[in-house]
Amino acid sequence: MHANINNLFIFLSSHHKKLKSIFFSNITQTILFNSHRPVMATYPQPQVSSITSQMQQTNIGVVKPQRRTLGSAQVISNAVDEWSNSVLGKVFCPEILEVGEVRDEINAIWKKYKSKETKVMGPNLFVFNFSTTNDQEDIIKKSPWTVKGYLLAVEIYNPRIPLADIKFLHQNWTVKFRNLQLEHLNVSMIDEIIQDLGREKLEIDPPNAHPRIGRMVKARIRMELTSALKRGVWLRTTSGGEVWIKYHWEKQPYNLCDECFVIDHSDNNCEQVALQLQLDSMSAEEYDVWSREQEAENFLWWLRLEKITVMLT
Ligand SMILES: [Zn+2]
């Protein structure tokens, strides 16, 4: 015990004066309380553990280098608020675009929005800050946008969400359905078409799917960027036939794969998606012809395989 106390004493001497005073006050209190005892060595000495405990209670431990950061919560919060009218945008281009080019084009297409500021956040990733919430909301409402012919996907920027956690999976989009017949001017029918697109409906224009003039209905949908911008669909008619309903995607980017029409393009899926789009666009007669051709091709392929097998055996 003496050895321990001595070691601690040396340690304290080399450290903090306050530590020493705690140590001595501890001992002094013990001595005063037990002053009727003649020999100090015969009564309990202050325990190392009790001193350590007191050191911890007074928040005075061994001085250890600490990592330091700056930025009070209030300052950070105020700074973030300056970006509360911002929009996060990502250009879906396979190459990294020059920042200057993007900025020039954005300034041209958004020239009516004053006092905006552009910040580059990563490859083809930008934050656009607007002076008012109205401007910010207008940008989202009028989406999609394009830069250099590629989609500029936009969404409200929340600076409290780390950029790494933000995935551009959707884009609000307006699609027009042309060539609808009278039996198709019905909300349930339009809902079925939107469901076929596999997307969430935001609104239909007009809401009752009965346009005052003509037979065109528009829908605002939340479009998945890994899905194809389908060209149209065949709808059955009351006369027992079918009619091709053509889709028109407003502000469709012109730099888009003309095989699969997928914004977030993948070479691995392109061929398969393109084939499905091709089949969906065929009339019943065209599909019959295509099916027969496929069967004939498969038969020839089988014959060739048989011939090779016979030659080898
Ligand atoms: Zn493709």
**What is the distance in A from the centroid of ligand 1 to the CA of 26?**
80
Q: How far is the CA of 114 from the centre of ligand 1 (A)?
A: 37
Ligand 1 center–CA 244 separation, angstroms: 23
The CA 133 to ligand 1 mean position distance, Å, reads: 37
Contact 3, 31 (CB under 8 A): no
**Helical ranges in the chain per DSSP H:** 2-13, 17-33, 48-57, 73-81, 99-109, 133-141, 187-197, 267-281, 284-312
Q: How far is the CA of 256 from the centre of ligand 1 (A)?
A: 8
Q: Which residues of the chain have pLDDT under 70?
A: 1-61, 76-79, 198
Q: How far is the CA of 197 from the centre of ligand 1 (A)?
A: 17
Distances (CA, A) of 291 to 136, 279, 288, 294, 296: 51, 10, 5, 5, 9
DSSP assignment, residue 43?
S
Cα of 278 from ligand 1 centre, angstroms: 13
Ligand 1 center–CA 44 separation, angstroms: 85
Max CA distance (Å), the chain: 119
- The pLDDT assigned to 156 comes to 92
CA of 226 to the centre of ligand 1 (A): 11
C-alpha of residue 261 to centroid of ligand 1, in Å: 6
Distance 199 CA to ligand 1 centre (A): 20
Distance 166 CA to ligand 1 centre (A): 24
pTM of the predicted model over 0.85: no
- pLDDT given at position 40: 43
pLDDT value of position 43? 47
Q: How far is the CA of 123 from the centre of ligand 1 (A)?
A: 22
**Ligand 1 centroid from CA 74, angstroms:** 48
Rounded to the nearest whole angstrom, what is the distance from the C-alpha of residue 230 to the centroid of ligand 1? 12
Q: From ligand 1's centre to the CA of 171, what distance in Å? A: 18
For ligand 1, the distance from its centroid to the CA atom of residue 273, given in whole angstroms, is: 8
- 199's tokens: 């997307």
Beta strands in 101-207 (DSSP E): 117-122, 125-129, 145-147, 150-156, 170-178, 200-205
Q: How far is the CA of 272 from the centre of ligand 1 (A)?
A: 9
Long-range contacts of 220-223 (CB under 8 A, 24+ apart): 220/172, 220/173, 220/174, 221/172, 221/173, 221/174, 221/175, 221/194, 221/197, 222/170, 222/171, 222/172, 222/173, 223/170, 223/171, 223/172, 223/173, 223/197, 223/199
